[in-house]
Amino acid sequence: MDDDKQQRLKRITQSIIGLPTLPTVITQLISLIDNPKTSARNVAQLISTDQALTAKILKLANSAFYGFPREIATVDLAVVVLGFETVKNLGLSVSVLERFAGADGDTGNFDRQKFWEHSIACGVAARLLATKLRYRVPGEAFAAGILHDIGRLILSQYFPDEFDNVLRLMHDEELYIGDAEERVLGVTHADVGGWLAERWNLPRQLEETISFHHAPGRLGRGNDLPSLIHLADFLCRREKIGDGGGDRLPKLDPAALRTFGIHEEPRAALKRIFGYGDELQREMEKADAFTNIVRDEDDSTGETSATQESSTPQDDDTPTPPDDDGSAGQSGATPGDGDGDT
């Protein structure tokens, strides 16, 4: 990021007062799981200190989204069956959904419900594409999909007038939302989201994904997760699930295709990605447990955690990618020993 943009971002973020923080149990959970000496029992004990989080994880673990044939009745079993990474990313996702779902309602042209529909769909799409493109940690992909546009939510909540101007400009001039944000604010939602991820001390991989989900090629090597979210975003917009930020699509970054060894011409490659649309719609039918968190339709387990800190498509045409033959690039991501599947 150049110096001028850093200064603009600094001015924007310094104006944010009362920024919601992650619950202590979530920050501890991230640190605990990142420690190679941690045991399943350690993780279960920490989660069990938060009754609301415990109930939510058990409810989600037993939902149709995971499809386990037998009931998961204890946190200990959930940690073993789901795996460390999935539990961590599930806890993070639930925390963010609950943290912001109860914030102020729609502002001007911003539809919070449609925003969350898109975010959850992007998490589901990223999880789906992770299996198709052999990304090693589907649970991480799910959390990254949910969080990728968090900067839009921050702008709508803390800069409602300016962000309403962004959306009005976006619609009136049929601009891509990032271009409208640059013109009105001087920074984009990806910049603001990356700053928030840094403030929350999220894993670097998630921070970079939020910052570069529209331009994963700018990261060079190690851009697997941002590339996955880039493609998941396109798929969700194609399927018109929620609001991904207006009808004008961002430019396709061919690096996202090359990262996964997709050597077809970009337009043909996108059609291949879009071919998973029906499967995404079926997966979304199983994701009600997540959308209910946002809709506030959950039962009493949806109450705020006791440990919570204070907080205040285009139609049918395939978008035209930039000129690039899409043929050169890295080999596909190597499947790894992922901890479960979010």
pLDDT at 103: 58
CATH class, 107-295 region: mainly alpha
As assigned by CATH, the class of the 16-102+296-312 domain is mainly alpha
Dihedral of alpha carbons 31, 32, 37, 40, sign: negative
Q: Which range (173-187, 273-287, 312-326) has the least confidence?
A: 312-326
Other CB atoms within a 10 A radius of the CB of residue 199 amount to 14
pLDDT band at 175 (very low <50, low <70, confident <90, very high): very high
Is-same-fold flag (16-102+296-312; 107-295)?
yes
Q: Where in the chain are the domains?
A: 16-102+296-312, 107-295
| CA–CA distances in Å: residue 90 to residues 47, 59, 288 | 12, 12, 15
Q: What is the pLDDT of residue 106?
A: 53
So what's the pLDDT on residue 336?
A: 35
Q: How far is the C-alpha of 131 from the C-alpha of 140, rounded, in Å?
A: 12
* Least confident piece of the model among 111-120, 153-162, 315-324: 315-324
- What is the tens place of the pLDDT at every residue in 72-113? 999 999 999 999 999 999 999 999 988 887 555 556 788 888
Using the 8-state DSSP alphabet, how is residue 110 labeled? B
pLDDT (0 to 100) of residue 107: 61
**pLDDT tens column, 117-132:** 999 999 999 999 999 9
Q: Hey, how many other C-beta atoms are within 10 angstroms of the C-beta on 219?
A: 18
What mean pLDDT is predicted for residues 33-55?
94
Paired strand residues for 9: none
Mean pLDDT of the chain: 83
